[in-house]
Amino acid sequence: MNMKLHFPNSAFLGNIDQFLASFNTADKKALSVTFNKNWISVHPVVLSMTVALGLEVKGNGGSIEIEPLEAKSKHYLERMGMFRLLGIDLKIHMTDHEPSGRFIPVTRITDSKELNKFLTEMVPLLHTNPAHAESIKYIMDEIVRNVLEHSRSRFGALVCAQYYQKSNSIKIGVADTGIGIKRSINMAHDARNDGEAITLALTPGVTGTTSKIGGGTEYNAGAGLFFIKSIAKVNRDFFAIYSGGCMYKLLKTPSSRRVELKVNPLDDRHSMHEGLPYWQGTVVGVDISLDASEEFGNLLGMIRAVYKKEIKEGAKMRFKRARFI
pLDDT in tens, 144-159: 999 999 899 999 999 9
Q: Quote the CA–CA distance of 301 and 197 in Å, as a whole number.
A: 27
Name the β-bridge partners of 176.
282
Instruction: Say how many C-beta atoms besides its own lie within 10 A of residue 310's C-beta.
Output: 22
Q: Which residue has the higher pLDDT, 307 or 55?
A: 55
Give me the mean pLDDT over the 287-296 stretch. 74
What residue ranges define each of the domains in the chain, with the CATH number in brackets?
3-324 (3.30.565.10)
**Average pLDDT, stretch 21-34?**
84
Strands (E), 131-238: 157-164, 169-176
* Model pLDDT, residue 141: 92
CA dihedral 309, 312, 315, 320 (to 10 degrees): -20
DSSP 216-253: S-TTTSS-HHHHHHHHHHHTT--EEEEEEEEEEEEPPP
**Cα first-last separation, the chain:** 52
- Name which of 76-85, 281-290, 308-317 the model is least confident about: 308-317
Query: What's the pLDDT at 218?
Result: 34
pLDDT band at 302 (very low <50, low <70, confident <90, very high): confident
Q: What is the mean pLDDT of residues 25-36?
A: 85
Measured CA to CA, the distance from residue 269 to residue 239 in angstroms comes to: 11
